[in-house]
Amino acid sequence: MNILENIRNALGAIGSNKMRSALTMLGIIIGVASVVLLVAIGQGAQRSVTSRIQSLGTNLLSISPGGASQTNVRFGGGGGGGGSTTSTLPLTDTAAIKQYAGDLLTGIEPEYRSRQQAIYGNQNTNTSVVGTVPEYVTVRNAPLAVGTFFTQQDVTNVNRVAVIGSTVVTDLFPNNPAPVGEAIHIGNDVYTIIGILQTKGGSGFGNADDIILIPLTTMQQRIVGQNMLTSISVSVKNQADMVYAQNLITAVLMNTHRITDAKNADFQVLNQADAVSTLNSVTDTFTLLLGGIAAISLIVGGIGVMNIMLVSVTERTREIGIRKAIGAKKRDILLQFLIESTVLSVLGGLIGILISVIGSWLLKTYASLDATIAVSSVFLAFGFSVIVGIFFGMLPAFKAAGLRPIEALRYE
């Protein structure tokens, strides 16, 4: 019996028991779809974070409080957590950096970031409120769509003016896409909106558009009551000077903080490469974890294939005896059952891939998630499903091939 005839027999056996075959494939379908889709979501999250960091420019350094083990990467520009009352970055650090490293920089932006409730009429939202300076626009690569940014005079006069992101516009002004001139409540004060940032895109807690910018002095004096900072961002003139600028700023802050041993530093200076590397490491681990969890369902599906095929061997004992009696060899029986289990796994894998493609489209269309399927994950999941079918089909195949013809023919 040749391979094509074995395949025809296998397909015939699968087609004659459609419900059982469908249930057998179900575990493989779920496993493949889960692996491909979850890996796509993980890789999409990585691309989203990387593009958001890169959108800030290629020459950005970020100084944050805390040592290496306490670093809080803040390149995203979106909703960070509440400002820490134990910050080790006083406002005077900004002046020191300007004095000693100013020639290397195109801008320096100190900020204090805190989550606050913003209210307009009967609308409210919990958003990231950032006290900053006019240099925010250039350092953070954050152009305005409508209106103007606040000036240094607004910072000096502690004015209550605000520039808001597009998500805040949607939350507070669902019927007004350009609410310049409107007044919103933050804490106990009223702030006049003077500008709206261009949309950067994003969702969730790290949404770069879910933000309200106010003068740094206003934030420090009216909301948090201190002159500490949650971060300082600087833009370096030349890409080639990034490492030198990073080392120089580190030395300046070591001196101003009176620290002699770098291991005891109460701050950290990160460049964009550090941030991308750190975040990619986290998302890679996250993606691997998701894929590993989903792969377990493939193994469970393989066990299901084995169980059903064992039942099939029992049901078809007389058929096996007849085939052996008319000349079928042991390897023919072995090959037929191996082909059946493999075909079930292959069909399940193909259907699973189709479902993952549909799921990816639904997530991108209705959930705004970047879940673009990678070809490598498709081949990996499909190949694994084939291996599972062959591996878990071996026991039933060997059992069928090992039946003695006389005993098989006598089986009731």
pLDDT in tens, 182-227: 999 998 899 999 999 999 865 544 678 999 999 999 999 999 988 8
> Is residue 394 predicted with pLDDT exceeding 70?
yes
**Mean pLDDT computed over 137-161:** 94
State both tokens at 66: 């805390």
CA–CA separation, 153 vs 17, rounded Å? 80
Question: 121 burial class (0-12, 13-18, 19+ CB within 10 angstroms)?
Answer: exposed
Residue 303, C-beta contacts closer than 8 angstroms, at least 6 positions apart: 27, 392
**Mean pLDDT computed over 348-366:** 90
pLDDT of residue 233: 92
pTM metric for this prediction: 0.60
Nearest alpha carbon to residue 182 among 226, 146, 136: 146
The pLDDT tens digits for 327-342 are 777 777 777 778 888 8
Residue 168, C-beta contacts closer than 8 angstroms, at least 6 positions apart: 118, 125, 127, 209, 210, 211, 212
| Pair 209, 145: CB distance under 8 Å | no
Residue with tokens 């493609």: 357
pLDDT of residue 141: 85
The pLDDT tens digits for 100-143 are 999 999 999 999 999 999 999 999 999 999 999 999 998 988 89
The pLDDT tens digits for 46-76 are 777 766 665 655 588 989 997 644 444 343 4
Residue 140, C-beta contacts closer than 8 angstroms, at least 6 positions apart: 56, 60, 77, 109, 233
**Mean pLDDT computed over 308-319:** 74
pLDDT of residue 2: 64
